[in-house]
Amino acid sequence: MRKTYILDTNVLLHDPESLFSFEDNAIVLPLSVIEELDRIKRRGDEVGRNARDASRKLDDLRLIGRLSEGVALPNGGSVKIELNGAKTYDLLEGVDLNSVDNRILALAYHLTNNEADPVVLVTKDLNLRIKADVLGIATEDFYSDKVDYAQLYNGVRELYLSEKDIDRFYQEGFVDFSQNNLYPHQFCILKVHENPSVSALARYYGNRLNKLFYDGKTVYGIKSLNKEQKFALDLLLDDNIKIVTLVGKAGTGKTILALAAGLEKIFEEDGRYNRMLITRPIVPLGNDLGYLPGDKEDKMRPWMQPIYDNLEFLCNEHVRPNGCSDYLLNNGKIELEALTYIRGRSIPRQFIICDESQNLSPHVIKTILTRVGKGSKIVFTGDPEQIDHPYLDASSNGLSYLVERIKDKGISGHITLIKGERSDVAELGAKLL
């Protein structure tokens, strides 16, 4: 059945392409939404860019026909801008109609009681959905880029083989296996029903269960401490895998494993990558401190401090005790960059690490991926349960979205790290708090 969807401003700010995500249904935009886009478009961040993008898309549609009467979309639907007239406001006595949200509610209430088709208000604002429910208005979140976080692909699976097959696996380094329910580069824990003491670790690709590429050696001063870390290093050190996603709670080793693998490739295997590029989103935890003094490097230092901490640790472990991370930074092989300046770049032959990527939207993840040039490898790390971005959650952030969208691609690999290895205190905090 054809439906009428009323879009809140935050849906367009989250994804300007949402205008084309409702198939053959009718989209109604309250005039208040256009006013909000006009107010927000001057911002210099991602939200401002999305506001300008949404406005451009609406302007392109305006050239096709009158938006006040409805313009047909390529997918069979239509988009219309509705005036929030006085007849709509009169329906809600005692409601403060100086609020944009309440004006959107008033229009939704009017259409719900006057349209023949079902009317649904689409908003990412939880409180607006609650108010709409009080008025009997059907509401939904914007779902097109959401994934089921509870069922997020973890990159690992248990398989039961015969003891004979596992013996052959150890002898030859692989065993043929052509089941269709395994993803490329999915890790498998091989077991035997009759003999639980017999097991093996494998990675699936080329219709085979293959021995791990990583053989347990030290990588720039560190070794894997559990099987998930071993799986992660297997992906990070394999140059045939161009996109790696590492998900895990605090202290599981996501960032330090990625940095160690990058440093190993840059300094120990000269020629494969020219340098390592490290970036992370500028999203504060709690209240922002405001503007920071100094040049770009000085301003970035507080945001990049976790990277400096890990580099210092790796320098101590691999280079010399009490070594300084400046040793690694001053030779031009490592570049720290804010995501703000990555648009428009082309990044060839570099080992790229995007840390804390759970704070990125799917749109920004796409922007970063399209910056990757020939010969480069990119690693995304993050914990979808620790999101500081006000408009994202565990199901709608770019990292979760990326994991689900590329899990069946042959140039990508994913692993979810489980066990915390930072310290007993960090592990206790992650588990109990």
pLDDT at 344: 73
Same-domain status, 124 and 230 = no
Q: Are residues 238 and 368 in the same domain?
A: yes
The Cα–Cα gap between 260 and 335 comes to: 15
| Secondary structure (3-state) at 78 | strand
Write down the pLDDT at residue 287. Answer: 45
Same domain (yes/no): 135, 239: no
Q: Give the model's pLDDT for residue 289.
A: 46
**Do 126 and 269 share a domain, yes or no?**
no
CA dist list (Å): 252 to 69, 222, 265, 364: 55, 14, 22, 25
Q: Is residue 203 part of a domain?
A: no
The torsion angles phi and psi of 60, rounded to 5 degrees, stand at -65, -40
What pLDDT does residue 389 have?
Answer: 76
Structurally, the chain folds into a number of domains equal to 2
Q: Is residue 149 part of a domain?
A: no
6 in Cβ contact with 104 (< 8 Å): yes
Residue 134 shares a structural domain with residue 236:
no
The domain of 230 spans 225-432
Q: Which residue ranges of the chain lie beneath pLDDT 50?
A: 284-289
- Asked whether residue 183 is assigned to any structural domain, the reply reads no
335 located within any domain? yes
The rounded distance, in Å, linking the Cα atoms of 26 and 86 is 23
Rounded to a whole number of angstroms, the distance between the first and last alpha carbons of the chain is 46
Tell me, what amino acid is at 176? D
In a shared domain, residues 271 and 406: yes
Considering the domain boundaries, does residue 250 fall inside one? yes
Which pLDDT value is given to residue 284? Answer: 47
The Cα–Cα gap between 347 and 373 comes to 5
Last residue of a domain, one of 110, 125, 140: 140
CATH of the domain at 48: 3.40.50.1010
Q: Bin 397: left if φ > 0, else alpha if -120 < ψ < 50, else beta.
A: beta
Q: How far apart are CA 76 and CA 232, in angstroms?
A: 45
pLDDT (tens digit per residue) in 217-251: 889 888 899 999 999 999 999 999 999 999 999 88
Answer whether 343's CB lies under 8 Å from 369's CB.
no
* pLDDT tens figures, 50-106: 999 999 999 999 999 999 899 999 888 999 998 765 555 555 666 667 788 888 888
CATH number of the domain enclosing 357: 3.40.50.300
pLDDT for the residue 154: 95
Domain end residue (candidates: 120, 140, 160): 140
- The reply to whether 115 and 255 lie within a common domain is no
Tell me if 194 is assigned to some domain: no
Domain-terminating residue out of 81, 105, 140: 140
Question: Does residue 377 belong to any structural domain of this protein?
Answer: yes
pLDDT of amino acid 59: 94
Residue at 360 is within a domain: yes
The predicted pLDDT at position 320 comes to 60
Contact call for residues 238 and 230 (beta carbons, < 8 A): no
- Position 322 scores a pLDDT of 60
